[in-house]
Amino acid sequence: MWDKLCDVLTDFEFLHAKLGAAASGDGEVPPATVYDLLRDYLNALEALPANQVRREEVDTLHRLLDENSHLLKEDPSLLVQQIHNACN
């Protein structure tokens, strides 16, 4: 169960879809905001056991999303770019 949760929270296709990052600009409302996604991460981190192997990976991604939430709120398509920039 925990591995599956970590798989979802680190899957960039899922993150793009959830934020509507690949939206065509036709006015379609994304399924969630970056703040909804951050809440999902907080809930997951509360539930994940401390010894879960991928907990640090999920926590790192949560921090990166949080630090860039102001940009991702305006333009979710910047998701991969912001994460890439933060890791370099």
Cβ atoms of 59 and 45 closer than 8 Å: yes
Output the tens digit of pLDDT for each of the chain's 88 residues.
999 999 999 999 999 889 887 654 556 777 889 999 999 999 999 999 999 999 999 999 999 999 999 999 999 989 989 888 887 7
Q: Label each residue of the chain as H, E or C.
A: CHHHHHHHHCCHHHHHHHHCCCCCCCCCCCCCCHHHHHHHHHHHHHHCCCCCCCHHHHHHHHHHHHHCHHHHHHCHHHHHHHHHHHHC
Q: Which amino acid is at 28?
A: E
